[in-house]
């Protein structure tokens, strides 16, 4: 049970390794899971706070990288392997590298600092307060019930099938939108010359 938890190998439920029948929840599966969960959750929170608090823009990006990485660890812990791997590729490996790249290209001095004005602070406080309120309301109002039985083994084939049948239209629309963004960005970049 390393980073990629007991749920990594397909046909396995969360605390109990059904395939091998060892390490059952009563013995020690539960606490390991809990320790990993709280560690990863703590990392996510601390790095998220780091993004908000740090003034240096590159350090902010690094904190963001840690936050995205720990969210992906959380996905692996919850047996959502596909989501975790895609989170790594798209956000941690792709978007974030582009972000750092942009920062490095555009910042005037190597130690560009990020100073926040009073109005910005107010706006940010209002927006995040509303978001916190909404999320809190939803979380407390929802009736949570635990999932019974097995976590579905391999989700990736199912995801692929659904994307190309049930959700074909949103999938294609997202593809077209991204394509338009790319062409637009290339056009803008070309005009400067």
Partner 1 sequence: MAAVGNWAAKALFGGHPVALLFLVVGPLVTAAAALGAALAVKTWRGWGRFLYRHGGKVLLSAVVGTCIAVWLTALLFGWVTTDLVARADDPSRTSWFGAPLTVTELTGSLPMLPGWVAVLLWPLQFAIVRDLIGLGALLGFFNLIPMYTIWWERKVAGRIQSRLGPMRVGGWHGWSQSIADGIKLILKEDLIPAQADGPLFRAAPYFAVIPAALAFLALPFGATYVFRDLDVGLVFVLGVLGIEVVGVIMAGWASNNKWSVYGAMREACQMVSYEIPMGMALLVPVSAVGTLNLVKIGEAQAGGWFDWLAFQNPFIFVAFVCYYIASLASCKRAPFDLPEAESELVAGFHTEYSGLRWSFFFFAEYAAMFVVSGLAVILFLGGWQSPLPSAWGDSWGDGILAQGLKGILFSGPIWFVLKCVFFLYVQLWLRWTLPRIRIDQVLYGCVQVMLPMTMILLLGNALWVWASTSERGSWKVIEQITNWILGLIGATFALGFVVIAAYGFYHRRRLVGNLVQDAMAGA
Q: Which residues bind partner 1 (CB under 8 A)?
A: 1-4, 6, 8-10, 17, 19-24, 26-28, 32, 56, 58-59, 62, 65, 69, 72, 81-82, 84-89, 92-94, 96-98, 100-101, 104-105, 110-111, 153-157
Nearer Cβ to partner 1 (41/85):
85
Report the interhelical angle of 96-106 vs 57-77 (nearest 10°): 180
CB of 191 to partner 1, least distance (A): 18
CB of 59 to partner 1, least distance (A): 7
| Positive or negative: CA dihedral 153, 156, 161, 166 | positive
Nearer Cβ to partner 1 (20/128):
20
Q: For residue 113, what are the β-bridge partners?
A: 56
CB of 130 to partner 1, least distance (A): 32
Nearer Cβ to partner 1 (114/129):
114
* C-alpha 186: how far from chain center: 28
CB of 120 to partner 1, least distance (A): 25
CB of 6 to partner 1, least distance (A): 7
Nearer Cβ to partner 1 (4/41):
4
């Amino acid at each position: 049970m390393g980073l990629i938890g007991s749920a990594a190998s397909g046909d396995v439920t969360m605390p109990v390794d059904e395939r091998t029948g060892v390490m059952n929840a009563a013995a020690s599966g539960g606490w390991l899971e809990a320790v990993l969960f709280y560690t990863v959750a703590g990392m996510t929170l601390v790095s998220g706070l780091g993004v908000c608090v740090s003034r240096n823009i590159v350090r902010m990006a690094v904190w963001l990288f840690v936050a995205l990485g720990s969210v992906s660890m959380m996905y692996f812990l919850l047996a959502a392997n596909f989501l975790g791997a895609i989170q790594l590729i798209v956000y941690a490996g792709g978007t974030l590298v582009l972000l750092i790249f942009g920062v490095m290209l555009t910042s005037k001095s190597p130690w560009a600092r990020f100073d926040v004005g009073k109005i910005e602070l107010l706006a940010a406080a209002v927006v995040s307060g509303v978001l916190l309120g909404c999320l809190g309301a939803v979380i407390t109002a929802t009736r949570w019930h635990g999932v019974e039985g097995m976590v579905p083994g391999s989700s990736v084939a199912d995801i692929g099938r659904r994307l190309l049948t049930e959700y074909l239209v949103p999938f294609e629309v997202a593809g077209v939108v991204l394509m338009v963004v790319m062409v637009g960005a290339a056009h803008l970049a070309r005009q400067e010359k």
